[in-house]
């Protein structure tokens, strides 16, 4: 008994050698396998093989020219010429009978009804991409029997859409939450208060977002440039009673209409960056004994001293500067910026009475 004829790996074609009985059957089976595979891959429908003499051809039938191996499609029903006429001669004699057939992939855009589609056209239909396998004029609906689906992205697109919608909903919720938090960090009060440094207590709205440790500014509703800024020390969300320590102020007076906001605005007292609208310039003559450079001023927001002298100047943040009791020494031609928040008296004296001090005081 002879060994089985070996086959190819993919299509299981016989590796036939014509040295045994039945090799013709193996050969024929190979041809059938190739015929089936080529038909599936090329999608050339109604194929009749090579062109033959004395054969009836209907419109749409396709044949191969045995001389060139090119494919043609029958355009007019007819019976082919008798032998010895060749296919080429028959086409010359009857030029309308046959048209050259070729398969090419061409994007035909978005599928539309009442449109001529040819083999190889591919279209987009919704989120589906398909290639035409049967030439036709499209009807009112997409005919899946005339198209082969290449890609169906419907599920992927829907998943992306769902994710985008979820992200948009999350962003909207976050924005609403942020707006809610922001709304809870502004308020008003009708309590009677006098602008000044130190502990303050008043009543505002309940269930707000104030909490100990945050910095707030309480400004007069009728004069927003007059305010108190400081750190919250207590807040009762049930009663709305809020306490804070004002460490920076601007302006003065008593009021019963206040606006409350998160953050500090500075002012006299050193709570943040001070706001100054006025700069007062003075000169103080050099003196070997203590002199007042600036008198105490609760509205001072800052200042500077320029020692326009060849003699060193001893400066004291406080009264009665001496050569041994002073805060700092400004050399001749030197400059000093008064610390923000210092509103007390500033005194000074020189080693020798030569020149002057140019002083600037900033106030709201």
* Dihedral sign computed on CA atoms, order 13, 15, 16, 20: negative
Q: Which fold has domain 186-262?
A: Thrombin, subunit H (2.40.10)
SS3 for 40?
helix
Query: Which is nearest to 136 in space by CA: 149, 124, 145?
Result: 145
Torsions phi, psi of 250, nearest 5? -145, 130
pLDDT values of the chain reduced to their tens digit, one per residue, 364 residues: 567 888 888 777 888 888 778 888 888 887 887 776 666 555 567 888 889 999 999 998 989 898 888 889 899 999 999 999 999 999 999 999 998 876 666 788 999 999 988 877 889 988 888 888 777 899 999 998 888 888 888 888 788 888 888 887 777 666 665 455 445 678 899 999 999 988 899 999 998 888 888 888 999 999 988 898 888 889 998 999 999 988 888 888 999 999 998 875 554 444 444 456 788 999 999 999 999 999 998 888 788 999 999 999 999 999 999 988 998 889 888 888 887 668 899 999 998 999 999 999 988 7
Beta bridge partners of 141: none
- The token pair at 57 is 């051809």
| Domain ranges (residues) in the chain | 43-100, 106-152, 186-262, 278-363
Residue 168 falls in which region: left (phi positive, over 0), alpha (psi -120 to 50) or beta: alpha
How many Å apart are CA 98 and CA 307, to the nearest integer?
109
Contact by Cβ (8 Å): 191, 258? yes
How many Å apart are CA 257 and CA 330, to the nearest integer?
46
Alpha helices (H) along 106-261 = 154-183
Domains 43-100 and 106-152 share a fold: yes
Burial class (CB in 10 A: 0-12, 13-18, 19+), 361: buried
Contact by Cβ (8 Å): 315, 293? yes
- Residue appearing with tokens 């007059």: 226
Contact by Cβ (8 Å): 361, 276? no
What is the reported pLDDT for 159?
A: 84
How many Å apart are CA 275 and CA 364, to the nearest integer?
6
What is the reported pLDDT for 254?
A: 94
How many Å apart are CA 31 and CA 54, to the nearest integer?
25
CATH among 1.10.260.40, 2.60.120.770, 2.40.30.10, 3.50.50.60 for 278-363 = 2.60.120.770
Query: Which is nearest to 350 in space by CA: 287, 268, 258, 267?
Result: 287
Contact by Cβ (8 Å): 242, 235? yes
Beta strand 198-203 with 147-152: parallel, antiparallel or unpaired? unpaired
Residue 193 has a CB neighbour count (10 Å cut-off) of 18
Per CATH, domain 43-100 is 2.10.10.20: yes
- Give the C-alpha distances (Å, rounded to integers) separating 228 from 196, 225, 244, 248, 329: 7, 10, 10, 6, 34
- Residue appearing with tokens 């509205």: 299
State the maximum Cα–Cα separation within the chain, in Å, rounded to a whole number: 139
Predicted TM-score of the model (pTM)? 0.32
* Dihedral sign computed on CA atoms, order 101, 104, 105, 110: negative
Q: Which fold has domain 106-152?
A: Seminal Fluid Protein  PDC-109 (Domain B) (2.10.10)
């Amino acid at each position: 008994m002879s060994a089985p004829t070996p086959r190819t790996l993919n299509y299981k074609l016989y590796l036939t050698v014509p040295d045994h009985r039945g090799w013709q059957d193996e050969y024929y089976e190979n041809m059938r396998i190739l015929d089936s595979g080529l038909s599936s891959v090329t999608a050339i429908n109604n194929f009749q093989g090579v062109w033959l003499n004395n054969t009836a051809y209907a419109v749409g039938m396709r044949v191969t020219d045995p001389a060139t191996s090119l494919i043609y499609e029958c355009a007019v029903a007819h019976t082919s010429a008798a032998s010895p006429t060749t296919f080429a001669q028959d086409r010359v004699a009857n030029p309308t009978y046959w048209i050259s057939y070729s398969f090419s992939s061409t994007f035909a855009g978005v599928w539309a009804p009442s449109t001529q589609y040819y083999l190889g056209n591919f279209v987009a239909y919704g989120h589906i991409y398909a290639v035409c396998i049967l030439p036709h004029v499209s009807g009112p609906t997409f005919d899946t029997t005339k198209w082969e689906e290449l890609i169906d992205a419907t599920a992927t697109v829907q998943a992306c859409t769902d994710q985008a919608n979820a992200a948009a909903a999350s962003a909207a919720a976050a924005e609403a939450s942020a707006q809610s938090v922001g709304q809870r960090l502004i308020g008003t009060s009708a309590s009677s208060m006098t602008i000044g440094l130190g502990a303050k207590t008043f009543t505002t709205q309940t269930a707000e977002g104030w909490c100990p440790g945050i910095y707030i500014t309480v400004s007069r509703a009728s004069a927003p440039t007059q305010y108190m800024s400081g750190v919250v020390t207590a807040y009762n969300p049930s009663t709305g009673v809020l306490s804070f320590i004002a460490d920076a102020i601007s302006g003065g007076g008593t009021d019963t209409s206040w606006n409350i906001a998160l953050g500090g605005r500075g002012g006299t007292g050193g709570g943040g960056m001070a706001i100054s609208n006025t700069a007062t310039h003075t000169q103080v003559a050099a003196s070997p004994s203590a002199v007042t450079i600036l008198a105490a001023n609760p509205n001072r927001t800052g200042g500077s001293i320029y020692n326009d002298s060849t003699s060193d100047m001893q400066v004291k943040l406080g009264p009665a500067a001496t050569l041994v009791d002073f805060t700092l020494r400004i050399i001749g031609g030197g400059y000093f910026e008064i610390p923000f928040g210092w509103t007390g008296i500033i005194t000074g004296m020189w080693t020798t009475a030569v020149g002057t001090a140019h002083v600037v005081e900033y106030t709201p």
